[in-house]
């Protein structure tokens, strides 16, 4: 029993989960595998974007509700495990319908996908709040930052392995839809294995201040919380602004398939490049954090997100091999957000109201819900190039507005 309470085992449990979660996510990577699967089922970019709105937005919509429900729960591990098992079931359901119905009944497959993607997303929001709260109360501030860095390293390694698996599955001649079904089955099993790290994890009991405030009253109080907590409000603004690049993340793969008419073998290739970018970026972000402050790093991330669409337009005129650079840069952006935002947020929010604040933060990232749909509409009417330029302009505006936040205020939450 002493061993499972040791810091080493706590680190092991979270890294174990992070490793297999990253491997699992690779099996349905939102920037490569999932876009390729959806575009085989439908040519409608609106339906395609709707999937992303659900995938990214549903957890945010429900976060306030989840946060309100979980705030009076002294222990949250069982809710974390429940969320993981529901996500695994969603993978299993997608594998079943893809294998048995995608060829002869694409409409039924799409409808089932909406259900399972919603289940996957809702359970992700539920599990995510529990997960973050457990980290916050299990480890000190310094140890949390170390854990996120280690988790990112091992997660990046797992994602690389996942990319190799995807490349193998989609290049060895396995016919559609068996290739996608195998990928989804691996994802389902990976989540079950990932959960094993938490089963023996000792969870400290939270000190609960009994609060019988209704959900309606709590929602009404959110504007007062934002007005009172300037650092938290600034964090929400910056996170929303930096999220504009999310509008076109899923469309890079669609753009490449349309421009180059590439086959599915490029799914694995681009995923491997994305993962290499994620792993390599850990070194770069570590160096930058020792040389520059948080504001400079965040501005660099936003500008990178603004330049990538322009680069995509240019590389779209050359070759699919050179277009891999886009996914390398995406790896940088994804890694930077994972390492930076959440640890800083945990430092600035009140300990006794942590879960509620996390719920508010999630639900106020409302742009993630609508931007994929907005992107699809603009692409339908004006094409990819115009959409990419619009995103670039908005990202540069975001970088400019970031400069208007005082240095002292930004350092408070970063």
Cβ contact 155:18 at 8 Å: yes
Q: Tell whether 210 is covered by a domain.
A: no
Closest of 162, 182, 158, 146 to residue 17, by C-alpha: 158
In angstroms, the first-to-last Cα distance of the chain is: 37
Torsion sign, CA atoms 281, 10, 127, 341: negative
| Per-residue model confidence (pLDDT) at position 413 | 35
Torsion sign, CA atoms 43, 46, 47, 51: positive
CATH of the domain at 139: 1.20.1250.20
Q: Tell whether 207 is covered by a domain.
A: no
| Per-residue model confidence (pLDDT) at position 264 | 76
The rounded distance, in Å, linking the Cα atoms of 298 and 33 is 28
Q: Is 209 helix (H, G, I), strand (E, B) or coil?
A: coil
Q: Tell whether 125 is covered by a domain.
A: yes
Q: Tell whether 73 is covered by a domain.
A: yes
| Per-residue model confidence (pLDDT) at position 314 | 96
Q: Which residue's structure tokens are 């140890």?
A: 143
Q: What would the two tokens of residue 73 be?
A: 């729960």
Closest of 115, 127, 121 to residue 59, by C-alpha: 121
Q: What would the two tokens of residue 88 be?
A: 């695994």
Number of structural domains (the chain) is 1
Q: Tell whether 206 is covered by a domain.
A: no
Domain with 243 in it? 3-201+215-413
Q: Tell whether 168 is covered by a domain.
A: yes
Q: Tell whether 209 is covered by a domain.
A: no
| Per-residue model confidence (pLDDT) at position 411 | 40
In a structure prediction context, what are the per-residue pLDDT tens digits for the chain, which is 414 residues long?
Answer: 444 556 678 888 888 988 998 888 888 887 778 888 888 888 887 887 788 778 776 666 666 666 666 766 777 788 888 889 999 999 999 999 999 999 999 999 999 999 998 898 888 777 877 887 788 777 776 676 677 777 777 887 888 888 888 888 888 878 889 999 999 999 999 999 998 888 877 776 665 555 566 667 767 778 888 887 777 777 777 777 777 777 788 789 889 988 998 877 788 888 889 888 888 887 777 677 667 655 667 778 888 888 999 999 999 999 999 999 999 998 888 777 766 666 667 666 776 676 677 777 766 776 767 777 788 888 888 999 999 999 898 888 878 777 655 544 434 433
| Per-residue model confidence (pLDDT) at position 410 | 38
Q: Tell whether 29 is covered by a domain.
A: yes
């Amino acid at each position: 029993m002493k061993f499972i309470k040791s810091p080493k085992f706590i680190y092991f449990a979270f890294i174990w989960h992070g490793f297999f979660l990253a491997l699992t996510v690779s099996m349905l990577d939102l920037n490569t595998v999932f876009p390729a699967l959806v575009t085989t089922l439908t040519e409608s970019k609106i339906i395609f974007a709707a999937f992303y709105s659900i995938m990214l937005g549903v957890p945010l919509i429900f976060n306030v509700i989840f946060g309100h429900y979980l705030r009076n729960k002294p222990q949250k591990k069982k809710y974390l495990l429940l969320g993981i098992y529901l996500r695994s079931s969603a993978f299993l359901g997608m594998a079943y319908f893809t294998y048995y119905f995608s060829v002869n009944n694409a409409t039924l497959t799409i409808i089932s996908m909406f259900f399972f993607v919603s289940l996957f997303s809702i359970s992700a929001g539920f599990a995510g709040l529990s997960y973050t709260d457990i980290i916050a109360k299990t480890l000190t501030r310094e140890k949390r930052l170390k854990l996120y860095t280690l988790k990112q390293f091992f997660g990046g390694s797992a994602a690389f392995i996942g990319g190799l698996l995807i490349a193998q599955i989609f290049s060895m001649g396995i016919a559609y839809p068996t290739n996608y079904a195998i990928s989804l089955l691996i994802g389902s099993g990976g989540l079950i294995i990932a959960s094993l790290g938490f089963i023996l994890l000792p969870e400290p009991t939270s000190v609960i201040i009994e609060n019988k405030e209704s959900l309606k009253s709590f929602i009404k109080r959110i504007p007062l919380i934002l007005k009172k907590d300037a650092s938290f409000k600034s964090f929400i603004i910056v996170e929303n602004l930096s999220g504009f690049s999310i509008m076109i993340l899923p469309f890079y793969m669609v753009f490449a398939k349309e421009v180059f008419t590439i086959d599915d073998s490029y799914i694995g290739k681009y995923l491997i490049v994305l993962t290499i970018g994620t792993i390599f970026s850990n070194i770069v972000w570590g160096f930058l954090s020792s040389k520059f402050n948080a504001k400079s790093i965040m501005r660099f991330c936003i500008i990178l997100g603004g330049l990538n669409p322009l680069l995509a337009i240019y590389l779209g005129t050359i070759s699919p091999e050179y277009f891999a650079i886009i996914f390398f840069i995406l790896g940088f952006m994804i890694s930077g957000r994972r390492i930076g935002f959440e640890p800083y947020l945990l430092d600035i929010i009140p300990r006794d109201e942590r879960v509620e604040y996390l719920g508010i933060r999630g639900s106020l990232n409302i742009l993630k819900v609508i931007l994929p749909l907005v992107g699809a509409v603009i692409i339908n009417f004006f094409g990819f190039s115009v959409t990419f330029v619009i995103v670039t302009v908005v990202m540069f505006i975001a970088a400019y507005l970031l400069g208007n936040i005082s240095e002292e205020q930004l350092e408070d939450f970063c």
